[in-house]
Amino acid sequence: MINLKACFFGIIVQTFVNTQHYWNDNKMDLLKKTLENISAGRLLDICSGRGEFINSFSNYLTNFSEIICIDNIDLPENTFRLPNLKFLKMDAENLNFPKNYFDVITLSNSLHHLENTGKVFAQIKKIVKDNGFIIINEMFSDEQDNAQMTHVMLHHFFAGIDRETGGFHKNTFTKNQILEMVKEVFSGQIELMDYKNAKTEGISIEYLNEVIEKILAKVKDDNIREFYKKEAEKITNNFKQYGFELATQLLLVLKQDI
């Protein structure tokens, strides 16, 4: 079974962000234009975590009849507040749905959590309808400014500790790696855009250190812990010099071939 952390790092980041929107205003018009002709109908959100992506993304859909969110974690019933939405505990590599079932399938910031991306993509292709849409949203590790690199470094720091403590968590991919991964499997029409989240405010070095210490506490081996202490120092030094901004993300809208 895939050991997803269900956007644990995303939850940490959300505590940093003082904003009402997941998407920033200067990309909103472009996003609306990309999505305005998509009638979601029945939508599946894979690796939904606590729903940070789908709660924001649904605001840009023309309409939808049902949203199903899946992840392999247990969540409280009141996690999602959207109408016609239900959460199912399910492994992304074993999607138990009929063929041609969903009008839209979304996957956000989870490619680097998947042990077998090809298997997940193959399942997605089976259960999305002909002429349906697959929407992939993923932060990438390159082409970021210095402040955004604090986010990238912090994410890779957590991913490394996650691996050391038995989890499966890759570092984030470059933009080209994401595109190549998708093009290997999906041959239909692809629209893409990258966007930067709304400006991050109110992060202190004290709070950053608190988050780092909580993550470091998972490491019991002294040698490994010492290594990650040095990595943590690089993160805090970058933060002191440049600050913290959320990394730019890549949004891909794929239309399923008939």
Look at residue 242 and tell me if it is in a domain.
no
pLDDT in tens, 139-175: 999 999 999 999 999 999 999 999 998 888 999 999 9
pLDDT in tens, 194-241: 887 766 667 889 999 999 999 999 999 999 999 999 999 999 999 999
Look at residue 76 and tell me if it is in a domain.
yes
Identify the band that residue 13 occupies on the pLDDT scale cut at 50, 70 and 90.
very low
pLDDT of 189: 78
Q: What stretches of the chain show up as alpha helix (H) in DSSP?
A: 8-16, 28-35, 52-57, 117-127, 146-164, 175-183, 205-216, 222-242
3-state secondary structure of 160: helix
Q: Tell me the mean pLDDT in the region 102-112.
A: 92
- Over 40-77, what HEC string results? CEEEEEECCCCCHHHHHHHHHCCCEEEEEEEECCCCCH
pLDDT in tens, 53-92: 887 777 777 677 888 899 988 776 656 667 778 888 899 9
Q: Structural domain tally of the chain? A: 1
The predicted model scores a pTM of 0.84
CA pair distance 26, 21, nearest whole angstrom:
12
Kindly report the average pLDDT of the chain as a whole number: 82
Look at residue 164 and tell me if it is in a domain.
no
CA pair distance 91, 1, nearest whole angstrom:
7
The CATH number for 130's domain is: 3.40.50.150
Q: What is the residue range of 128's domain?
A: 8-142+169-198+248-255
pLDDT of 21: 42
Look at residue 132 and tell me if it is in a domain.
yes
Count CA within 13 A, CB hemisphere, residue 73. 17
Q: Tell me the mean pLDDT in the region 169-182.
A: 93
Look at residue 56 and tell me if it is in a domain.
yes
Look at residue 34 and tell me if it is in a domain.
yes
pLDDT of 255: 83
CA pair distance 192, 255, nearest whole angstrom:
12
Look at residue 107 and tell me if it is in a domain.
yes
Look at residue 3 and tell me if it is in a domain.
no
